[in-house]
């Protein structure tokens, strides 16, 4: 049975969104942001334009429009909230990180949070037919540093900035 990652989408404002100092006029890429608009509406209330790109939970047209905008203008920041923890393979996780690198402007901020599940480190299929790696946040740091060498642990998330070489 094929995993249905769209089902891992929750209708809430991820906690990391309340930890970030947003700037009015900022453009954020919400990578793997899901099918709901609650986080986008929250950021809009702060004067932030939130572009959601999610190949599992958004239709082709939405993703095409998001990618077209990002190809033209890029983004000031990227949030990857509770996404890497539902992606089974390292290769797929690296693809997500390289997508962030592709679109974020030089000097832009990348914020990554995960849900650690049961924390056992043993990945498994969930009852709702999604995937959960069950890994603590710190176990993702080395993977993230393969794409963003300056990535570091902060309180409850991983933070990085995009260097000067953002060409994939």
Query: Does 18 fall in a domain?
Result: no
Number of domain units in the chain: 1
The mean pLDDT value for 142-152 works out to 97
Give the model's pLDDT for residue 10.
58
Give the model's pLDDT for residue 3.
46
Inform me whether the pLDDT recorded for 168 exceeds 60. Answer: no
Mapping DSSP to helix (H, G, I), strand (E, B) and coil, where does residue 53 land?
strand
Classify each residue of 20-31 as buried b or exposed e, where b means 16 or more C-beta atoms within 10 Å of its C-beta: bebeeebbbbbb
At residue 137 the predicted structure's pLDDT band, cuts being 50, 70 and 90, is very high
Structural domain span for residue 39: 5-9+23-161
Give the model's pLDDT for residue 167.
40
Q: How much helix, strand and coil, in percent to the nearest 5, is found in the chain?
A: 35, 25, 40
Inform me whether the pLDDT recorded for 78 exceeds 80. Answer: yes
Query: Does 17 fall in a domain?
Result: no
At residue 7 the predicted structure's pLDDT band, cuts being 50, 70 and 90, is very low
Query: Does 168 fall in a domain?
Result: no
DSSP per-residue letters across 95-126: HHHHHHHHHEEEEEEEEEE---TTSSS--EE-
At residue 6 the predicted structure's pLDDT band, cuts being 50, 70 and 90, is very low
CATH number at residue 129: 3.40.50.150
Q: Greater confidence, 154 or 7? A: 154
Q: Greater confidence, 17 or 163? A: 17
Query: Does 16 fall in a domain?
Result: no
Closest CA relative to residue 4, chosen from 81, 57, 58: 57
The mean pLDDT value for 124-146 works out to 90
Average pLDDT score, the chain: 90
Query: Does 15 fall in a domain?
Result: no
Q: Average the pLDDT over each of 53-57, 77-81, 146-150, 157-161 and give the range with the smallest value.
A: 53-57
């Amino acid at each position: 049975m094929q995993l249905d990652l769209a089902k891992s989408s929750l209708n809430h404002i991820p906690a990391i969104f309340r930890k970030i100092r947003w700037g009015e006029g900022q453009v954020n890429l919400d990578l793997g942001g899901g099918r709901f608009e609650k986080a986008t509406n929250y950021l809009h209330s702060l004067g932030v334009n939130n572009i959601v790109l999610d190949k599992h939970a958004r239709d082709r047209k939405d993703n095409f429009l998001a990618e077209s905008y990002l190809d033209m203008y890029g983004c000031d920041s990227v949030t990857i909230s509770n996404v890497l923890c539902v992606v089974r393979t390292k290769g797929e996780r690296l693809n997500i990180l390289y997508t962030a690198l592709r679109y974020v402007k030089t000097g832009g901020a990348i914020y990554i949070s995960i849900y650690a599940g049961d924390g056992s480190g043993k990945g498994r299929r969930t009852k709702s037919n999604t995937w959960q790696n069950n890994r603590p946040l710190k176990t993702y740091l080395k993977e993230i540093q393969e794409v963003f060498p300056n990535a570091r642990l902060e309180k409850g998330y991983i933070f990085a900035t995009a260097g000067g070489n953002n060409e994939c």
